[in-house]
Amino acid sequence: MRGKALISGVNCAPVFYKMALAGKEKPMTADEKEKVVELRLKGLGYQAIANEIGTVTKENVRYYCKTHGLAGSAALVTMNYDLHREMPNHCKNCGATLIRNAHSGVKLFCSEKCRRAWWKVNPDKDAQSKKQRYECRCAYCHRTFISFGNPNRKYCGRDCYVKDRFWTDPDEKPSAAEIKRRQQEAEKSEGEVKLVLKRIS
């Protein structure tokens, strides 16, 4: 048989092809994936996208498009992409084809395992997530603090809430020492917030 590698009567050409590509291909980064989607929706083909990005192969682009509902005619892809985002055909985590029955609603993951794995890696994708971090400024002491899951928090803690709500005298003028103390606390807390953000990310 010409052109095929045979070992004991078994066609091994696909195995050798995969072995040849194993050292060349690398996983796509999030930026590259976003760029692939953007260019595909503009109507570009697989090779044109690979040439535009420069760091991925045509096969990487083709596989990503196939597993994320961007395969087929480029014109049809742009028309059907919004529908695909509402009712995707592939798992968000592993790319496996989703199986639906007539009564199933929006299904994003093929299994509970994939759902948990995806949310563990992407906790901040959900606007209602309790892990979503917001940087806020306290209405009383003016320190910067991190609020998890609530962008509208006004106070850094219960003490500041009580002091601002119940202890504030509208005619009281803070002394220079009090103003200086509050400024030092605000600077100290900003440094702590940056340190916490650095540790979290």
pLDDT score for 113: 92
**Number of domains making up the chain:** 3
The CATH number of the domain holding residue 32 is 1.10.10
Residues 73 and 92 occupy one common structural domain: no
Answer whether residue 26 is part of any domain. yes
Residue ranges of E strands in the chain? 6-7, 10-11, 133-137, 144-148
Measuring CA to CA, how many Å separate 193 from each of 12, 131, 159, 186? 57, 16, 19, 10
8 Å CB contact between 40 and 49: yes
Residues 74 and 92 occupy one common structural domain: no
Residues 76 and 22 occupy one common structural domain: yes
Residues 103 and 179 occupy one common structural domain: no
Answer whether residue 127 is part of any domain. no
pTM reported for the whole predicted model? 0.33
Answer whether residue 112 is part of any domain. yes
Residues 163 and 147 occupy one common structural domain: yes
Residues 6 and 75 occupy one common structural domain: yes
Strands 133-137 and 144-148: antiparallel
Answer whether residue 128 is part of any domain. no
Answer whether residue 2 is part of any domain. yes
Residues 69 and 22 occupy one common structural domain: yes
8 Å CB contact between 143 and 190: yes
Answer whether residue 126 is part of any domain. no
Residues 80 and 16 occupy one common structural domain: yes
Residues 151 and 109 occupy one common structural domain: no
* Helices (H) then strands (E): counts for the chain: 8, 4
Residues 48 and 93 occupy one common structural domain: no
Answer whether residue 8 is part of any domain. yes
pLDDT tens for the chain, residues 1 to 201: 444 444 545 454 444 444 444 445 678 888 888 888 888 877 778 888 888 888 888 888 888 888 877 777 666 565 556 555 655 677 878 777 777 777 767 778 888 998 888 888 876 666 556 667 788 999 888 889 888 878 889 999 888 888 888 775 666 666 677 777 777 877 777 776 666 666 665
164 Cβ contact list (under 8 Å, min separation 6): 139, 140, 155
Domain boundary among 74, 101, 121: 121
Residues 141 and 161 occupy one common structural domain: yes
pLDDT score for 19: 43
pLDDT score for 79: 55
Domain hosting 98: range is: 87-121
